[in-house]
Amino acid sequence: MRVQSLLLVGIRELPDCFNRVMQDHKCAFTAVPDAQAALRALSGGRTFDVMIIRANAACNDEVLRKLEAAASQTFILALHDAALEEGPPDVLASVVSGYLSSPITEVKLKTMLGSAGRFLTLAQENQYCRTREIKPDDEFVGRAESVRQVFRVVDSVAALDTPLFLSGPPGTGKNLLARIIHRRSSRKQGPFIRVNCCDHPESLLEAELFDSGTARFELADKGTLVLDHLEHVNEAVQQRVLSVLKEAAGEKTAIAGGTPALPNVRLICIANCEAGRSAKEGLSNAELCRLLTPIRLPLLGERGEDAILLAEFFMRCFSRTLMRPEMSLALTAREALLAYRWPGNVQELKHCIERAVLLADHGEITAEMLGLPQAQGVDVPGKAVAAEGEPAVRNRNGAATDAGVTLPDKDEAELLSTPAGPVRAADASDPGVVTIRVGQPLVEVEREMIQRTLEQAHGNRTKAAGVLGISVRTLYTKLLEIEQLKEHNGT
């Protein structure tokens, strides 16, 4: 952190290099004759990053204590004459952060400014740690009752070796919760290994998990193994996972075609599950479902005021990492955060706040900086709002829809269950038609088609994949590509 202001107390003579060093470091300074004048300079809430007090200008203990209280967040140094045999008064020892001996040189000034900057950074981080809303051992921010229910289950199972099944829509914090459970378990000193099942072809995933020498179950011995996106794993791999769980439970079950199971592993399975769907709907092995203890994470849109808590938490994080000033939320921003539905959950909120911290040119984030639909006049009841240069579109009942897209009514959603028909000319009066502009990039067409089909399928990816004529795994891969493209483009 850079030192921006300096208060000199009782220092009448300054070296020629002083002004030059202050200008080079863009540090403003104020000089006062004694401690009483320093108290007056600090009145009215004015603050200084650094204060240098000449030892004989501190007056008495009472004045010095008042000065310390008024400058509680200030890096205080005492200046004493090195030529004198006696050192600085003892009364300064409990107040100052260090000493500066005269004569003042350019090297001493630069060293002092560097030390003061590090002190201020540590003080700011300490203040953040003392005022943050979350416990130092987890970092899962939330006060909503649904979050409390999740952690009541976590508290009861974390210390055990119970195999778990974490589910919920994308962006709700399933991987974070898995790490929290590992840190709270008796295996916290052991390895924590996560395997994204979608990163490996089905033909190689089984070998990756079970083959001797490279098996993730071996590497996770005495620790925790996380299998992410288990809903996309085929029946054969799910059966072998079941065999490992039985081995851990004391049932000596041979694993067909592989090495013996390693029972000393805490298994956590994770699956994306859209709202309204069963937590274990994606698992084809019923016996595996019964052995896993389910924990479902709630949607951010269901957590109420947690959106504000999370936004403030991310503001503090990004203000520090991006070297931005401390931020606050304007009233309009708070209202926008609470009104928005957050389809991308916590991950979407995180990206939203990061962008707002970068855009903010002062210490307050407004609704416009968040870039949410409510802040831009979209999704206003009774009013259709289109993208610039495009007409608004309504469905056959007159309800407004997104610009350029004609959507079916609710009672027409059953049309999605029918096989896709031949390609035909777009007809705005035909429900379920996506209008494509001439010259629109193919990647945008594909993205829009996938997103709209998912909306019409109410988030059911199996149904959406059937309508699009692709496998569920291919659909999931394309969704990952869309998300990566959004992050790359900053949208």
CATH (domain of 358): 1.10.8.60
The residue behind tokens 């119970």 is 162
Give the pLDDT confidence score for residue 290 in this predicted structure. 84
33 shares its domain with 113: yes
CATH number, domain containing residue 461: 1.10.10.60
176 shares its domain with 67: no
Give the pLDDT confidence score for residue 4 in this predicted structure. 87
Which 3-state string (H, E, C) describes the chain?
A: CCCCEEEEECCCCCCCHHHHHHHHCCCEEEEECCHHHHHHHHHHHCCCCEEEEEHHHCCCHHHHHHHHHHCCCCEEEEEEECCCCCCCCHHHCCCCCEEEEECCCHHHHHHHHHHHHHHHHHHHHHHHHHHCCCCCCCCCCCCCHHHHHHHHHHHHHCCCCCCEEEEECCCCCHHHHHHHHHHHCCCCCCCEEEEEHHHCCHHHHHHHHHCCCCCHHHHCCCCEEEEECHHHCCHHHHHHHHHHHHHHCCCCCCCCCCCCCCCCCEEEEEEECCCCCCCCCCCCCHHHHHHCEEEECCCHHHCCCHHHHHHHHHHHHHHHHCCCCCCEECHHHHHHHHHCCCCCHHHHHHHHHHHHHHHCCCCEECHHHHCCHHHHCCCCCCCCCCCCCCCCEECCCCCEECCCECCCCHHHHHHHHCCCCCCCCCCCCCCCCECCCCCCCHHHHHHHHHHHHHHHCCCCHHHHHHHHCCCHHHHHHHHHHHHHHHHHHCC
Kindly state whether residue 398 falls inside one of the protein's structural domains: no
Range of the domain at 456: 404-489
The residue behind tokens 């006696």 is 86
Kindly state whether residue 381 falls inside one of the protein's structural domains: no
The last residue of a domain, from among 70, 96, 131: 131
The residue behind tokens 């199996």 is 462
Give the pLDDT confidence score for residue 407 in this predicted structure. 38
Q: Of the candidates 217, 339, 306, 314, which has an alpha carbon nearest to the alpha carbon of residue 267?
A: 217
Kindly state whether residue 149 falls inside one of the protein's structural domains: no
293 shares its domain with 307: no
Number of independent structural domains in the chain: 4
C-alpha of 375 from chain center: 22
The last residue of a domain, from among 131, 147, 169: 131
CATH number, domain containing residue 74: 3.40.50.2300
CA distance 41 to 215: 67
The per-residue pLDDT string of the chain (491 residues; one tens digit each, 9 = 90 and over) reads: 788 888 888 887 888 888 888 888 888 888 888 878 888 887 766 788 888 888 766 556 677 777 777 666 788 888 876 655 455 555 566 677 777 888 888 888 888 888 888 777 766 665 654 444 333 335 788 889 999 999 999 999 988 888 999 999 898 999 999 999 999 998 988 899 888 888 777 778 887 787 765 678 888 888 899 999 887 888 888 888 888 787 766 654 444 444 444 458 889 999 887 655 555 555 667 788 888 899 999 999 999 999 999 999 888 888 888 788 888 899 999 999 999 999 999 989 999 998 898 888 777 899 988 988 754 443 433 333 333 333 333 333 444 333 333 333 443 334 333 444 443 444 444 546 667 777 777 778 888 888 888 888 777 777 787 788 787 777 877 887 787 777 666 55
Kindly state whether residue 396 falls inside one of the protein's structural domains: no
Kindly state whether residue 153 falls inside one of the protein's structural domains: no
309 shares its domain with 430: no
CA distance 470 to 373: 31
Q: Any idea how long the chain is?
A: 491
Give the pLDDT confidence score for residue 135 in this predicted structure. 36
Kindly state whether residue 430 falls inside one of the protein's structural domains: yes
240 shares its domain with 196: yes
The residue behind tokens 């609470």 is 338
89 shares its domain with 108: yes
Give the pLDDT confidence score for residue 388 in this predicted structure. 37
291 shares its domain with 201: yes
The last residue of a domain, from among 263, 297, 331: 297
174 shares its domain with 236: yes
* Terminal alpha carbon distance of the chain: 30
112 shares its domain with 179: no
Taking a C-beta distance cutoff of 8 angstroms, is the pair 336, 367 a contact?
A: yes
**Which residues does residue 77 pair with via DSSP β-bridges, in sequence order?**
52, 98
Taking a C-beta distance cutoff of 8 angstroms, is the pair 160, 289 a contact?
A: no
320 shares its domain with 353: yes
Within the chain, what is the greatest distance between any pair of CA atoms?
98
Give the pLDDT confidence score for residue 152 in this predicted structure. 92
CA triple 17-18-20, angle to 5 deg: 65
CA distance 280 to 233: 13
**Which residues does residue 30 pair with via DSSP β-bridges, in sequence order?**
7
Say whether pTM exceeds 0.75: no
17 shares its domain with 93: yes
29 shares its domain with 101: yes
